[in-house]
Amino acid sequence: MAYKFKVSAKRSDLMRKIRSDKTTPEILLQKALRKEKIKFRKNCTTIAGKPDIVLIKKKIAVFVDGEFWHGYRWKQKKKKIKDNRDYWIPKIERNIVRDRKHNRKLKNSGWQVIRFWQQQVIKDLPKCIQKIKKSLR
């Protein structure tokens, strides 16, 4: 059964605009990889967790995680959630568990998993590219 809670029209519009792919940080990372002549696939649905960027030949899965949705500094952040706590806290905790499950599954299949927070990509793109390039060696 779907969880029902009150949402203002403004909040509903904001939520509708949140993307699951083609986010600005993903696009920045993809452009930087192309500039480095690194070939990749985007949002590969056949690989566990649907990584944002996949380097098939090297078996590297790259995820660019949104801070809210994937629980960045979760112990501190969850205390600050005011609205619809009964919905958001379990939802984000499920996301965290799911991410760990996908990491394990990929690693057990011989994949290397790289996860970046969106703000890491925005604030220090060269460092993110270096991490990926280092994994290619």
DSSP symbols for 78-112: GGG--SSHHHHHHHHHHHHHHHHHHHHHHHHTT-E
Non-local CB neighbours of 132 within 8 Å, separated by 6+ positions: 33, 38, 55, 60, 62, 114
| Residue 37 phi, psi dihedral angles, 5° rounding | 60, 35
Categorize the per-residue pLDDT at 1 as very low, low, confident or very high, splitting at 50, 70 and 90.
very low
CA atoms within 13 A on the CB side of 29: 34
pLDDT: is 68 or 3 the higher one? 68
For the chain, list the domains and their CATH numbers. Answer: 20-136 (3.40.960.10)
85-126 tens-digit pLDDT: 998 999 999 999 999 999 999 999 999 999 999 999 999 999
pTM for the whole thing? 0.84
